[in-house]
Structure 1
């Protein structure tokens, strides 16, 4: 299955091939054909720049194993587009040994320096955008790693708290059992004291009755 990045690559290849072909035609074209070729080339260059931006975003979504390869391809594509832009600017410049037949064509040549600067600025803007996206992605990855580490530490602390709770619960149960055992021992001790006191009282009563009966018989 073709990925979205590969689909963008195919579209980019078609665009750059078309740009290359039209630059060749621009170099050898007559005056009446140049305006249409110039318009087509600039339109295709802008579309190629937009494709590179889309490919840059899509490269963030691919697997880690493919990400570096995508970045390497993007660097090559940017360099290729910059080279094509320079080739276009050279072809757009005044051709040696050819006289231009109209004022419009001459005016087009005069403003070529402004268009050259604009195209170069666009190429530099793409490079800066790519670097900013890479820097932003690096910050996101570092933040994600820090977040994962924090979550890991929180998980370990939660396990420690749960173990402490379990130990406290077990200690509380042991204390309850010890309390019930102490209460049982106290009750038994009281019962034994009552029995002993009862036996003593009965013994004293029996002795008193014996003495009383002995005295009365005399």
Structure 2
């Protein structure tokens, strides 16, 4: 039988997910500070939902094995739901109001929303690279903190096996640093493309505003 804590976590997640969905549906119809404020509120709730999933994961580990698989499956479905909400929020933040889209179509102006999917993909890639970089940095720090490298310097490095281990440790550290450098370059390129996309959308919006005056 599931613990009372697990049931409470599931109830909270369902409630937060419903609130996030409501806000996501409203965001495209807003502009300016109202849109920013509601987007920020939805982002905070997504963070809360992610923390709930982490607590659920810990709780599932304590559930008897007879019920654990069932709740593990439910947890994966919650994780998939949160991922979907994150993507929907990113799209909502760069979406335009229906009225604006209609005016653009009547005026024959290219719809800036054509770049929404591209921008969303860039955001996904950038965030994924940042998460990967953080994991690599954490792994590198853990390697240092646990004394992996230090142990090799304390050993008798005259033996062939110890020298080999020392070389492998150095290669591991060098590989981590090289991966971090490559990821930073990828993130910088993604951000540059994202700025170009934003600039294009902004230019289209200014043209539309000028024609509507």
- TM-score per shorter chain, which class? 0.3 to 0.5
TM-score by length of 1: 0.45
Higher RCO structure (Cα 8 Å, ≥6 apart): 2
TM-score by length of 2: 0.46
Higher radius of gyration, 1 or 2: 1
